[in-house]
Structure 1
Amino acid sequence: MDLEDEIIMLPGPVPVAPRILRAMSRPMINHRGEEFKEIFGRIEKGLKEIMQTENDVFVLSGSGSCAMEAAISNIIKNEKILTIVNGKFGDRFHEIAKRYGDPVPLEYEWGDPIEPDDVRRIVEEEKDLKAVAMVHNETSAGITNPAPEIAEIARENDLLFIMDGVTSIGGIDVRVDEWGVDIAVLGSQKCLGMPPGLSMISVSERAMDRMVESPPLYMDLKAYKKSADKGQTPYTPALPLFYALDEAINIVMEEGVDARIRRHTHLASMVRDAVKEWGLELFPRLNDVSRYSNTVTAIKMPEGISADELRSRAKKMGVVIAGGQERLKGKIFRIGTMGNIREKDVLMVLEVVERVLRG
């Protein structure tokens, strides 16, 4: 199978548009020069529009987990933070927090909805909490969590709210300023539709004022702010990926942020409708359809075929889909609908998956 013929429908990485790939082939430039400063300025402006924020926005040469760790390590030093876990990446927030402070976990079964009343109860019971960390869109379980409600609880109790928007920003309606998100992170290889390797982070003035002394050197967000004021990064940026980000943002702006979100919603609904037609069951089982992720759909494995066999046979037919992770391994499969994919891509993938399921 020629890799160029494959359709990758994962919850990241995603297919990359040819014009983004071409942008990456540009010659290197002086990352302390005026040309980079112009690129940096366009990126900053575009990211603020996509994230719907006026907060500072920084670009880190590292994956989404890099930005997650930057968010925690700049805020927490031997202090308490509430970590909300209902999937693999909520668990990652908790594991990061254990390295820098004293996390107080609120744990659910993977895929179970987060209840704001549970969060409010812990916030009222626990003393000396500094922040709340939560994943907005938990791709490991195909569920979108109630970020606006949790942000409101945090703000009411004078806590910082840290939100992983790695797989939601740019594909699901996210309003960083309106919701009151103090720190939001996203990853390059998700809804922005570019290669892995960059992560973006927005930081409120409130969060900047409460940062710890001596955070990790490479992820020191105050250093990023100081450099950003000059149109630079504090350390050598991954220039080809900055070129890609610049072009990816151009594509987002040409489509329009609202239109892009509507497209993601439509593509996810196509997958959910197909699952119903196949007689399969979505994972998790939710009463509120708006809680299902619009960037990845998780489906319970039917009897008679294993997740590995399903994925292997689909791959031979040119389609790459995801299985479950860790405790959900073998129990679900997942179809991503994020980035610059089109309706015809989804139709082709659904046809292949249906053929495999029907044997």
Structure 2
Amino acid sequence: MKYLTPGPIQLPREVLNYINNQPYFHRSNEFKEIFSSVIEKMEKIIGEEVLIFPGTGTFSIDTMVYNYVNPNEDVLLIDIGEFSKRLGESLISRNARLHIIKSEIGDVVAPDIVEDYSKKINDLKAIAMVHNETSLGVANRYVEKIQDIASSLNAILLVDSVSGIPAEKIGKKIDVIATASHKAFMSIPGASIIFYNIKPRNLDKLPPSMNLNKFIDMKKNLETPYTPPINVIMGLDYSTNYILKIGVDNYAKMHREKTDYLKNLVKLKPVAKEEFSSNTVSAFYTNNAKTIIEDLRRKGYTIASGMGNLAKNIIRIGVMGDVNFDDIKNIAEVINYYD
């Protein structure tokens, strides 16, 4: 079975070989050496400080919210899909006063609208957004402009880029970015990852597992407060080498080329507007989602169905990891047979 899914992704054999080792003791020099290497490379790839801790993309989002938003603070959420709504659920659980601005399906909210809406909120503390909306294959490429808007209002920008970076690039420093190990960073599930340009601003005590200040303090000595996802980090050691070897720009371009090839072959209507079509995940409308997915499985391929209200009406295809043009051609032939 080969996985062209939004994540976890089809991992290259080399990554799996790196992972298939006895975990190091996390207080040993052996672990510190590989941990230091991964941190250095990830910070070079993104250009911000990084924290790596056990968890998923969802836990990364929750941790970001709880470290950077305090109860009863006003937060603007830019809603462009299902994972935007999940970000909103996290903010609600933090007892934030949530203001929501929503886009049409497949589109994003223009920066001038975000700015006008933000200015109407008296004491805005944060803007929260999804950079790469996995549920619809939509990339919000206004993220840098929205950072400027947040900064101009003395608010912070919180970004979910779980299926985005580094294949869907951000070209400037962002206040906080939450992501995970098992998508475009090309390792196995198990690591929550946060890049930050400003330190946590929570005013109350947090559960130890999500208190980023503990991780920041221990990082100085190349340690973590608790047992880290050691074998995930081993996988990241290989994948970050690979990304830096081919270059971050080329890594993003490689994903764009595979996505363009997919969209040129598949006859279905894409969900995302062309200018916001994600590099990593594509979504297409269809009346035969279940049949297509089942037939592809019989032929050795797994893709994903839709989410939320569109669960039965779209298919989602990821091109991250060990996915080649022949794979894309093969699945396109099956899809086009039904539509």
- TM-score (normalizing by structure 1): 0.89
Aligned equivalents of 2:217 and 2:63: distance in 1? 16
- CA apart distance, 1:342: 2.4
Matched ranges for 1:314-333 at <5 A: 314-333=296-315
Q: Structure 1 residues 28 and 13, CA, compared in 2 at 3 Å: closer, same or farther?
A: closer
Q: Number of residues paired by the alignment?
A: 336
Equivalent in 238, 241, 250 of residue 241 of structure 2:
250
Which residue in 2 is equivalent to 1:282?
Answer: 270
Matched ranges for 1:128-277 at <5 A: 128-145=123-140, 146-175=142-171, 178=172, 180-204=173-197, 207-208=198-199, 210-275=201-266
Structure 2 unaligned segments of length 5 or more: list them.
Answer: none
Mapped contact 2:200–2:212 kept (Cα < 8 A): no
- Give 2:271's aligned amino acid: F
- The answer to whether 1:301 aligns with 2:286 is yes
Aligned equivalents of 2:285 and 2:58: distance in 1? 27
Which residue in 2 is equivalent to 1:113?
Answer: 108
| Per-residue Cα deviation, 1:9-55 (whole angstroms, up to 9, x for no partner) | 1111111111211212212322012111111111111111221x1x3
Q: Structure 1 residues 123 and 307, CA, compared in 2 at 3 Å: closer, same or farther?
A: same
Instruction: Point out the more displaced range, 41-50 or 334-343.
Output: 334-343
Instruction: Point out the more displaced range, 180-189 or 85-94.
Output: 180-189
Mapped contact 2:67–2:200 kept (Cα < 8 A): no
- TM-score (normalizing by structure 2): 0.94
Equivalent in 328, 332, 335 of residue 350 of structure 1:
332
Which residue in 2 is equivalent to 1:58?
Answer: 51
Equivalent in 94, 119, 123 of residue 118 of structure 2:
123
Mapped contact 2:68–2:200 kept (Cα < 8 A): no
Aligned equivalents of 2:257 and 2:19: distance in 1? 30
SS at match of 1:28: coil
- Give 2:59's aligned amino acid: C
- Give 2:69's aligned amino acid: I
Instruction: Point out the more displaced range, 340-349 or 31-40.
Output: 340-349
- CA apart distance, 1:348: 2.6
| Per-residue Cα deviation, 1:232-281 (whole angstroms, up to 9, x for no partner) | 11111121111111122122223221211110010000011112xx3x21
Mapped contact 2:105–2:271 kept (Cα < 8 A): no
List structure 1 segments (4+ residues) > 3 angstroms apart after TM superposition: none
Mapped contact 1:171–1:339 kept (Cα < 8 A): no
| Per-residue Cα deviation, 1:53-86 (whole angstroms, up to 9, x for no partner) | 1x32100210111111111100112112111111
What's the RMSD between the two structures over aligned residues? 1.6
Aligned equivalents of 1:208 and 1:20: distance in 2? 32
- CA apart distance, 1:347: 2.3
Instruction: Point out the more displaced range, 127-136 or 23-32.
Output: 23-32
- CA apart distance, 1:209: 6.0
